Amino acid sequence: MNESGEPTHELRSFGRRRGRTFTARQAALLADVLPGVALNLSEAPPVSVPSLFSKPVEKVWLEIGFGGAEHLLWQAKHHPGVGLIGCEVFEDGVVKALSGIKADGLDNVRIYGDDARDLLRWLPPASLERVFILFPDPWPKKRHVKRRLVSPALLTLLARAMGPGGELRIATDIGDYARTMLLALSRHPEFVWMAKGPQDWRVRPEDWPETRYEAKAKAVPRRCYYFRFGVKGVRPDPATIGLPSAS
């Protein structure tokens, strides 16, 4: 632990990676579809993140912990000019994403199946225009709180990978987690809360589809919190920082 009580090494923010045994169809998706969309961090980082996609994209968004992939696939289908990177360690979720990618013929999705923090370090600076962290594992037990994903260390990684003008969207149905999220973000020098009133964090925007975790929370019922934070500054033109444009 350091002086502030935070661990000096990174703890896993996720639990098990696999649920039930895969069916033949699911195994085929992992064998046939995943290799074509998986990111390989052993390769050199891309100079231009849009080049990771097989089609030209104007910008790149990242979803960390996409769960059942409902939100990831919706965004990919409704924004064909955007490249979506989905990060999920739970293999059942990866299979759901692969199923949707194949069914809808999506060519603007890439998948990373391991720790999102490694991905954020691998990506070049100012390469992501939007990041989603929707209903992350709350680790409700007191002894596990330190494993929560949203932390000052993660925010620093996000600020670097997003760069000025980026937008971070976070949701949770756990009041204590919402409070610690707001505290961490309000104390971070690179982020500013975009809310102008209570409705901005109580009501989900129209371009933010419901996930199965949100539906479960509402069924209990529990209040859901929807936060949008911007990275301070004006996003630079790619030419001014030595990166090729997406076109």
Rounded distance, CA 97 to CA 101, Å?
6
Active site residues: 137
CB distance 95 to 66 below 8 Å: no
In this structure, is residue 246 part of a structural domain?
Answer: no
Q: Hey, is 168 helix, strand or coil?
A: strand
CATH number at residue 138: 3.40.50.150
In this structure, is residue 200 part of a structural domain?
Answer: yes
- Tell me which residue range forms the domain holding 32: 24-241
| Terminal alpha carbon distance of the chain | 46
Q: Which is it for strands 109-112 and 82-87: parallel, antiparallel or unpaired?
A: parallel
What is the count of structural domains for the chain? 1
In this structure, which amino acid lies at residue 157?
A: L
In this structure, is residue 18 part of a structural domain?
Answer: no
In this structure, is residue 78 part of a structural domain?
Answer: yes
Q: Is 157 exposed, middle or buried (0-12, 13-18, 19+ CB in 10 A)?
A: middle
pLDDT tens track, the chain, 247 positions: 444 444 444 545 444 455 578 899 999 999 999 999 999 999 999 999 999 999 999 999 999 999 999 999 999 999 999 999 999 999 999 999 999 999 999 999 999 999 999 999 999 999 999 999 999 988 666 665 687 898 999 999 999 999 899 999 999 999 989 999 999 999 999 999 999 999 999 999 999 999 999 999 999 999 999 999 999 976 555 444 333 343 3
Rounded distance, CA 49 to CA 247, Å?
12
CB distance 180 to 150 below 8 Å: yes
Cα torsion 5, 232, 46, 94: sign: positive
